[in-house]
Amino acid sequence: MLLDMAAEAFGDRTAVVCGDQRLTFAELREKAQRAAKLFQDGGAEYVALLDTNGPVLPVAIFGAAYAGVPYVPLNYRLTRGEINELVQRVKPCQLIVGDQFRAQVDDDEQVNMIATQDVLGLSGEVEEIDGAMVDPESVAVQLFTSGTTGKPKAALLRHENLVSYIIGTVEFGSAEETDGVLVTVPPYHVAGIAAVLSSTYACRRMVQIESFDPKLWLDTCRNEQTTSGFLVPTMIGRIVEYLDAQCEELNAPSLKAIAYGGGKMPLATIQRAMQLFPNVDFTNAYGLTETSSTIVVLTPDDHRTAANSDDPAVQRRLGSAGQPTGAVEIEIRDDNGQAVGANEVGMIYVRGGQVAGEYKEQGSQLDADGWFCTKDLGFFDDGGYLFIDGRADDVIVRGAENISPGEVEDVLREHPAVADVAVAAMPDEEWGEAVAAAVVLKDGATADEAELQALVRERLRSSRVPQTILFKDELPYNDMGKVLRRVIRQEFAALVQA
């Protein structure tokens, strides 16, 4: 439906650009409908994709929708074993696979592999498929979560969830002819899917790069004259570092807006980025796979107001997620499930049409009133700005006291010698769990354990002081820039056992 609308109103506009490949909205619809025919004739239960960003991404998403079959993007960065495990969970399927990943997949008679080039190269008569006929309650997308806490879960997003998100947050055809969004998030992330749907509905040109690199991002932005971009905080950090190291300026006058999300943005990075790009509007988006992406945004005005304010309460909003979009309701609840007031930390609950909150194996996780527990902790300030306080699973329970790793990390990060830090629980005989920190020092800088402990003791309560600090060359991250606390926890646990 979304693509039909775009193709009918703005069929001649460029929909997607990747390298020297270009498709208009009308061409995209033709290709998606040919692909849908192929998927229907193949009779599989899923359409999976194992490839990097490219025009095949919107073709597969919309083709699967026309065919009425769930679309399942797979993470090509996983190991061969992990990839095959996921493929086994969606067979019988049609698997669209890029040439460089073909060897990663085991042969299986229920897995029909189709090369990306063959999907894009389909020709012949287009059989018109009416996008309005797709059942809104059917599953549009099945996304495997990153599985930071265990086996990846299969999150289900139904057509009605995605349509609710798009219609609640985007105005149809709102893009100007010259607009273009530079997309760098990987196809297997919910932001990658949201980007395709939002761009299509806004009738905006989408410029893809296969995988992120700061120089490639800057070059593409300048050459394609893109007007906006979506990045994860780590990518913004790398662009800022690159520009500072090269003593180069942004020099991309077309760029008007950058949105970011997917992980916590370090305060220093966003401050530096705002200095380097004074004419760019920054938006922070907080959301989850299970909520069809964004539910809270910190707008460009919020960024500027916070950066220019003398009031500490307003200043610190630069580190907040912002305010709920009009499409959802958000509530903070305590351990007993009771809603709490401003400035009280609790579990973040969300409700709305875009909130799917459903897994294939575990079923719907919504409560009787339609609320979904994000398992993220946070609080609203007096102005209704949401601050995210980390994952509930990451909370350190020392004695009877709950300690959020984030607050200890924020203090340690202020030390001039500290480049990066992750705080996690460590098993402790006396307290059950104790606070431990993994610290990466800046090149050539020094700091010892006692000095860092003293800093935390001075700024926070003594219970927050890390009893062990491990100095490391780097911290483990997943490719969306989320630090893997699970890995760090295991390291500390091993330390105790030894």
Partner 1 sequence: MSKVALKAGARLKSAVSDVQVMAIKIPAGEYEITCGGVPMVGASDEAPAGASMDAGDSGETLMGKRYVDEGETVEFLCTKAGAGSLALDGKPLDVKQAKQLPSSD
Task: Tell me which residues touch partner 1 (CB under 8 A).
Answer: 1, 4-5, 8-9, 132-133, 136, 160, 163-164, 167-174, 181, 191, 194-195, 198-199, 228, 230, 259, 261, 283, 285, 287, 293-294, 297, 299, 323, 325-326, 353
Angstrom distance (rounded) from CA 138 to CA 83:
25
Distance of closest approach, residue 67 Cβ to partner 1, in angstroms: 17
Angstrom distance (rounded) from CA 34 to CA 338:
51
Q: Pick the closer one to partner 1 by CB: 90 or 139.
A: 139
Distance of closest approach, residue 40 Cβ to partner 1, in angstroms: 18
Q: Pick the closer one to partner 1 by CB: 298 or 412.
A: 298
Distance of closest approach, residue 382 Cβ to partner 1, in angstroms: 20
Distance of closest approach, residue 164 Cβ to partner 1, in angstroms: 8
Q: Pick the closer one to partner 1 by CB: 83 or 297.
A: 297
Q: Pick the closer one to partner 1 by CB: 69 or 163.
A: 163
Angstrom distance (rounded) from CA 249 to CA 411:
31
The DSSP-derived string for 344-364 is: --EEEEEESTT---EETTTEE
Distance of closest approach, residue 284 Cβ to partner 1, in angstroms: 8
Q: Pick the closer one to partner 1 by CB: 150 or 326.
A: 326
Distance of closest approach, residue 141 Cβ to partner 1, in angstroms: 16
Q: Helix, strand or coil for residue 497?
A: helix
When computed from its CA atoms, the radius of gyration of the chain, rounded to whole angstroms, is 23
Distance of closest approach, residue 42 Cβ to partner 1, in angstroms: 25
Distance of closest approach, residue 194 Cβ to partner 1, in angstroms: 6
Q: What is the DSSP letter of 373?
A: E
Take residue 464 and report the two structure tokens written for it: 């927050």
Contacts of 225 (CB under 8 A, 6+ apart): 178, 180, 254
Closest C-alpha among 45, 52, 288 to residue 188: 52
Q: Pick the closer one to partner 1 by CB: 172 or 359.
A: 172
Take residue 322 and report the two structure tokens written for it: 């912002």
Distances (CA, A) of 394 to 8, 189, 373, 406, 480: 48, 22, 16, 9, 18
Q: Pick the closer one to partner 1 by CB: 285 or 438.
A: 285
Q: Pick the closer one to partner 1 by CB: 260 or 431.
A: 260
143 conformational bin, left if phi > 0, alpha if psi -120 to 50, beta if neither? beta
Distance of closest approach, residue 137 Cβ to partner 1, in angstroms: 9
Angstrom distance (rounded) from CA 270 to CA 236:
8
Distances (CA, A) of 244 to 2, 273, 276, 280, 380: 41, 10, 9, 17, 35
Paired with 47 in beta bridges are 71, 94
Q: Helix, strand or coil for residue 389?
A: strand
Angstrom distance (rounded) from CA 373 to CA 355:
10
Q: Pick the closer one to partner 1 by CB: 40 or 468.
A: 40
**Residue with structure tokens 């003791």?**
457
Which amino acid is located at 88 in the chain?
Q
